[in-house]
Structures are given as C-alpha cells and as structure tokens.
Amino acid sequence: MASQIITLIGVLMGAITSFFATSWAERARFRQTMATRWDERKLDTYVEYISCVKETSRAAKRMLEAHFEGRDVGGPLAEMEAAEARRSVLFEGLVLLGDEAVSTAAVTVNERLWDLLKSTRDPDSIPAPVRDAMGPAIIDALNNLHRAARADLAIGARVGATGQP
C-alpha cells in the first residue's frame, strides 16, 4: 500500500510539474507573440512617419524653387501643407507606440521641419545660408530618430539563445 501511495504522489507531482511547465511556456509564447505584433506595428509607424517627413521636406524644397524661379507656388504650397497635416497625425501614433527616446527624437525632427516650413512660407525673411542649413539639420535629426527606432526595436542587438535580446 505504501508503494501505491508513493506512485500516486509521483504521478501527482509529475502532473503538477507538467501543468506549470506548460503554463509557463504558453505565457512566454504569448508574450513573444504580443511583442512581435507591437514591433511590427512600431516599424510600420516609424517608416510611415519618416517617409512623411521626407515628403514634407521635398514639398518645401519644390515650393522654394517655385518661389525663387517666379512660378506659381500654389500647388507646391498645398502639397506641403497636406504633407505636414499628415505628418502631424502620424506623429501621434509614433508617440503612442514609441519609447521615450523615439518620442524625443521625433520632437526634434518636428522642430527642424517646422523651421524649414516657416522659412518656406516666407523665404525672403530668412537669409539663404540659414535656410540652406535647415536641410542638413533635418537629416541629422532623422538620423537620430533612426538610431532611437532601431534601439527600440532591438535591431542590431545581440540575440541570445532564447531569441530575446
């Protein structure tokens, strides 16, 4: 009878151990699935925001070219304003999904872009050397945003045996 009790206890311990191991593995898999899902969403948001910043910057350049060539600026201005409105909406998603470093870098991008847009709306009020330096300032701010986004997404991080950085 004692051997049957020991066998029963062994079976119960095995079942309990199996239950906890399976539960732990399922929770780990669920967390990994959720992290992957959010990382994909973050990546899409980051790419869309950065693309829109570039689109807005290119529209501003076209507006300046039109202004200094004496052409009608109505079309480029409307394009620039539409791109800026879209960028503003995309920024909200970036702030919601990104970590603090990404949000801070994006705020800097916004500030540099706003400087460019302000000079574009009234190009004669900004000296040419100052206006010309705004493009590289946006590029530097975008590069910082790229670095922050890669860090947030753990791109380039060393991955251990568990698949986690």
Which of 112 and 157 is assigned the larger pLDDT? 112
| Residue 161 maps to a domain | no
Residue 88, domain CATH: 1.20.120
| Residue 59 maps to a domain | yes
Predicted local distance difference test score (pLDDT) of residue 7: 84
| Residue 87 maps to a domain | yes
Question: Is pTM, for the whole model, over 0.85?
Answer: no
Give me the number of domains the chain comprises. Answer: 1
Predicted local distance difference test score (pLDDT) of residue 27: 81
Q: Residue 66, exposed/middle/buried by CB under 10 A (0-12, 13-18, 19+)?
A: middle
Predicted local distance difference test score (pLDDT) of residue 21: 78
| Residue 9 maps to a domain | no
**CA neighbor of 63 nearest in space, from 47, 52, 74:** 74
| Residue 164 maps to a domain | no
Banded pLDDT at 69 (limits 50, 70, 90): very high
| Residue 12 maps to a domain | no
Predicted local distance difference test score (pLDDT) of residue 160: 46
Quote the domain boundaries for residue 123. Answer: 37-152
| Residue 86 maps to a domain | yes
